[in-house]
Chains A and B, each alone.
Chain A
């Protein structure tokens, strides 16, 4: 074939790749996007919640035609033990706004929609094509890619690796190492279908209003992880995930956790009568700031999950993906329009701009949190203590309130001791500040 050269090749058609390709194509660059799945979104899995802000910066009027499920008006956080949950709920009419801040989405249709925007913007999108290797010149600069279709090389000034959490192409090219088991979570989820009226009744909702429930506690059997329940239009997404290193150590199974979570007495009634039509599993990069690999080099940059851009504490990922994709694209466009080559030195501007954005600031804020969350007491001891405390307090049984309060305080000290309690509190405080 005649050798083809593009300004940019984007590897992957998830949120980061789409954001990048879209930004570049709307600015008139010659963009090729390669996706290994049958269609954009076919390989992608998320809870999923869409944070409007990151997408609004790309497509301000996305609400007009994007396939959105429900806008979120209520957030519930549950600390669970085997029989109870103790939680905080926040619901506000303010979230019923003209341009809601968060939506639940289903990724397969959403990604298809996003990809159509990318194509309409002028990028060339080719699916069912896996990038097998990065091609380099004599000076080790990346100059193009090879695919699994044939031996031909497609050239580009810069290759954007938006290839997702496993980062196979970057790893194979020696740009990064394989993500470590304690920096990646494995999450499983199911889609439980039921009529929208049933969802409205069970969650106290009207029209397109939605609820998200984030949970932690004994549901992860002492492993570092969380569970979630999201309301879509006609189904609930329910899932649970833990660090891969924990699964390996404990020999627990993801589906075992999910079954137990679904059968928790507080969860089971929410799912009653539903029909499971889809299930999925995916890895989530949760290593945080310290696990971020080198993000740029001669002729390449890394965006999205491939760069470990997930804020595990706040359950944010797709917005970080879109933002890193957009900032990478803006950097590439600025260099290109000033006639600058795509060298590591020039592309370092991408990292500098990320450092200036909420992406790096947030990840940096929680840089010590992954280590702190390895404290197993957070997932077993404290949920139980909390539940017992609440029950002692709320049960009316002739015991005076002062004695109850003393008993609660005592239960914390006898279970974790002063030193343990102080250590846990200080650890959390230090990780959070």
Chain B
């Protein structure tokens, strides 16, 4: 079995600040991490490999320093890592990115065999679009399972996968044929600690680095800024909400008094609710 996992190196959003005047993201000096959603994909891929055999290939598109993220993936236990890096890719939006990654995966397939599953994170924490995974599936003409929170069953002989997909209003249980593309939700698993053997292997391994030409990407008009019709019109910090949280003093008060105070504050904001509650009271 061959599993491909797409990852992205992103700024640690917990440490990002928005410039108060220009409203632009201040990336300077912000450390980079692997997009957290991608780690859930990688762990799921590693579990399938451990159970059914095969190989996990991690791929990314990014600047040369993205090799740090890939090396970390190897430390977690991935079998190989490929970095697609070229100045032609600078300024890619989701359309151009999914094109480049699709082409990259074609090349990976030609080199190490066609993947049975491609994993992506639900979305990245810097773009938040959740478009790249589906974009890749469309370009590779693959079935796709998005927002997956659990892999219920995986039958490699029948080439079938059954998953729980989070949808508005409930959970869908979906079964599909392999090959397919899966995007994983957060909290689906916990990333393992790679073994010492993995760590040693990762420290020794070279990261396979491909340029656009190496990956067989010739139509550069579809790449980078040229291939990106998206225009960022405005970036802004949402205004602070007017209503403020406050605390209700509870010291030396009975539970009844605390409940009364709490409900009083709720009813003040939702007068209709009070009427409904009164109607529900016994003996009304």
- Whether B200 contacts A150 by the Cβ 8 Å rule is no
Q: Which residues of A contact B197 (CB under 8 A)?
A: 1-2, 152
Which of A124, A126, A147, A148: most chain B Cβ within 10 A?
A126
Q: How far is the CA of A150 from the CA of B202 in the complex (A)?
A: 16
A83 contacts B by Cβ under 8 Å: no
Interface size class of B (residues with CB under 8 A): 10 to 19
Q: How far is the CA of A124 from the CA of B201 in the complex (A)?
A: 10
Interface size class of A (residues with CB under 8 A): 10 to 19
A129 contacts B by Cβ under 8 Å: yes
Interface SS, B side:
helix
A171-201 vs B, CB cutoff 8 Å, 1 = contact: the mask equals: 0000000000000000000000000000000
A154 contacts B by Cβ under 8 Å: yes
Q: Which residues of A contact B200 (CB under 8 A)?
A: 4, 32, 124, 126, 154
A125 contacts B by Cβ under 8 Å: yes
Q: Which residues of A contact B194 (CB under 8 A)?
A: 149
A104-129 vs B, CB cutoff 8 Å, 1 = contact: the mask equals: 00000000000000000000111011
B231-273 vs A, CB cutoff 8 Å, 1 = contact: the mask equals: 0000000000000000000000000000000000000000000
Q: Which residues of B contact A4 (CB under 8 A)?
A: 200
Q: Which residues of A contact B202 (CB under 8 A)?
A: 126
Q: Which residues of B contact A148 (CB under 8 A)?
A: 193
Q: How far is the CA of A2 from the CA of B196 in the complex (A)?
A: 11
Q: Which residues of A contact B204 (CB under 8 A)?
A: 124
B199 contacts A by Cβ under 8 Å: yes
- Whether B203 contacts A149 by the Cβ 8 Å rule is no
Q: Which residues of B contact A125 (CB under 8 A)?
A: 203
B141 contacts A by Cβ under 8 Å: no
Cβ distance A149 to chain B, nearest Cβ, rounded Å: 4
- Whether B203 contacts A150 by the Cβ 8 Å rule is no
Q: How far is the CA of A198 from the CA of B175 in the complex (A)?
A: 65
B172 contacts A by Cβ under 8 Å: no
B218 contacts A by Cβ under 8 Å: no
- Whether B195 contacts A1 by the Cβ 8 Å rule is yes
Cβ distance B163 to chain A, nearest Cβ, rounded Å: 31
Cβ distance B284 to chain A, nearest Cβ, rounded Å: 59
Chain A, Cβ-Cβ closest to B195: A150
Given A126-B203, A149-B199: 17 more A-B contacts, CB < 8 Å: A1-B196, A1-B197, A2-B197, A32-B200, A124-B203, A124-B204, A126-B200, A129-B196, A129-B199, A147-B196, A148-B193, A149-B193, A149-B194, A150-B196, A152-B195, A152-B196, A154-B200
CB-based closest 5 A-B pairs: A1-B197, A149-B196, A152-B196, A124-B203, A126-B199
